[in-house]
């Protein structure tokens, strides 16, 4: 293991000890926002530290066993050699596990997904291919125990899909499917082709994680500046004598709300807080919708045949993933939902890239 990674693991181990103390602090316990943040961090790094402790123990066993291999007693040397071999295997496996555990977590990995498939270049043949791709994903979902809900289906004249949108419900759906977004190209002889010529068409796939429903926004007292001032306008003499109006500024977002309708400062504050939370909720919903729209544009491209991530070649019975130059001659099985032969190499390649960055 690289020295930089070892030092990083030591720092994480020290942080876990620090979090143990913080989570027992009465002041932290009273601040539920801070307590939940620390508890979440503790649960994330706990497995890393547990694995690191096992790795450190394996290194100690290696050192002690190596010393015992020089013992004068041949029986002890033989026993030490076996123990050394086992410890070295354990250390190698634990080091690999630690590298994966240290990879940055995608917070959306456990999410359900929205699967959008649209026919691209190729007319009716593209729509028929879109139907084949949707059927492939449906069968894959069934094999993993996920459920599929069709939300919208724009069927073509020959039984294909000009567009089909579905919700796939299942733990880890996004982690398995997130590399499927892009243009999928097919090369085959269409059923309507009388002269047996191979045609090329395409469809686009977009895999979008389902965002959590925007509930009531939690507002921290430290994020607010609350000002009182005298209400203006109609209301009799009372408005000129009492600072009952409330202005609340949400410092992180810059959103400002005011309320001066009530004579009671407490009522004005309650109404202003309600309005602030409504505005923050709307802003978060707008942000999520804008992010989804941008992700969709980034994921699918134009649907042109030249913009492809994968090609399904029927005459040769082969599927090629162009991103990692992977060729698999199991077309029929893949279209039947056996997608792990494509998905696993993509995940491994992604992890390898992250590990390389981690080492740097």
The full 3-state SS of 102-136, as one line of letters, equals CCCCCCCCCCCEEEEEEECCCHHHHHHHHHHHHHH
Better pLDDT: 358 or 330: 330
- Ordered by start, the domain boundaries in the chain are 3-101, 113-213+300-359, 221-290
At residue 327, the pLDDT reads 96
Better pLDDT: 264 or 220: 220
At residue 117, the pLDDT reads 94
* Average confidence score pLDDT of the chain: 85
Task: Provide mean pLDDT across the span 19-23.
Answer: 92
pLDDT digits (tens, 9 = 90+) for 316-326: 999 999 999 99
At residue 240, the pLDDT reads 45
Determine the topology of domain 113-213+300-359 in CATH.
Alpha-Beta Plaits (3.30.70)
Q: How far apart are CA 27 and CA 20, in angstroms?
A: 14
Candidates 273, 269, 271; CA nearest to 218 is 273
Q: Return the ∠ at Cα 240 (arms to 238 and 245), rounded to 5°.
A: 85
At residue 245, the pLDDT reads 84
Task: Give this prediction's pTM.
Answer: 0.67
At residue 238, the pLDDT reads 46
Asked if residue 187 lies in contact with residue 89, where contact means CB atoms within 8 angstroms, the answer is no
pLDDT digits (tens, 9 = 90+) for 155-201: 888 889 999 999 999 999 999 999 999 999 999 988 766 677 888 99
Q: Is the dihedral of CA 136, 139, 141, 144 positive or negative?
A: negative
Quick check: 346 pLDDT over 70? yes
CATH class of residue range 221-290: alpha beta
pLDDT digits (tens, 9 = 90+) for 241-255: 567 788 889 998 888
């Amino acid at each position: 293991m690289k020295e930089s990674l070892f030092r990083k693991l030591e720092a994480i181990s020290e942080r876990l000890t620090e979090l143990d103390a913080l989570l027992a602090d009465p002041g932290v316990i009273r601040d539920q926002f801070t307590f939940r943040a620390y508890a979440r961090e503790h649960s994330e790094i706990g497995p890393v530290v547990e694995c690191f402790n096992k790795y450190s123990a394996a290194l100690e066993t290696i050192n002690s066993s190596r010393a015992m291999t020089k013992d004068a007693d041949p029986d002890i040397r033989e026993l030490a050699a076996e123990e050394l071999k086992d410890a070295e295997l354990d250390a190698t496996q634990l080091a690999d596990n630690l590298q994966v555990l240290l990879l940055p977590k995608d917070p959306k990995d456990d999410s359900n997904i929205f699967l959008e498939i649209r026919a691209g270049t190729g007319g009716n043949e593209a729509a028929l291919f879109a139907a084949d791709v949707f059927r492939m994903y449906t069968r894959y979902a069934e094999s993993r125990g996920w459920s599929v809900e069709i939300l919208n289906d724009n069927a073509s004249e020959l039984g294909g899909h000009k567009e089909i949108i579905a919700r796939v419900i299942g733990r880890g759906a996004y982690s398995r499917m997130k590399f499927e977004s892009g243009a999928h190209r097919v090369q085959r002889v269409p059923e309507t082709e009388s002269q047996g010529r191979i045609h090329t068409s395409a469809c686009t796939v977009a895999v979008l994680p389902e965002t959590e429903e925007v509930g009531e926004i939690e507002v921290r007292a430290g994020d607010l500046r609350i000002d009182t001032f005298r209400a203006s306008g109609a209301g009799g003499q009372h408005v000129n004598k009492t600072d009952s109006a409330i202005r609340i500024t949400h410092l992180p977002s810059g959103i400002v709300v005011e309320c001066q309708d009530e004579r009671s400062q407490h009522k004005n504050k309650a109404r202003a807080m309600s309005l602030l939370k409504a505005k923050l909720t709307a802003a978060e919903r707008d942000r999520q919708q804008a992010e989804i729209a941008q992700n969709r544009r980034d994921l699918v491209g134009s649907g042109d045949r030249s913009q492809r991530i994968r090609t399904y070649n029927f005459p040769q019975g082969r599927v090629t993933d162009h991103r990692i130059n992977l060729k698999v001659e199991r077309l029929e099985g893949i279209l039947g939902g056996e997608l792990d032969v494509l998905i696993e190499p993509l995940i491994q390649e992604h992890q390898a890239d992250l590990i390389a960055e981690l080492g740097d």
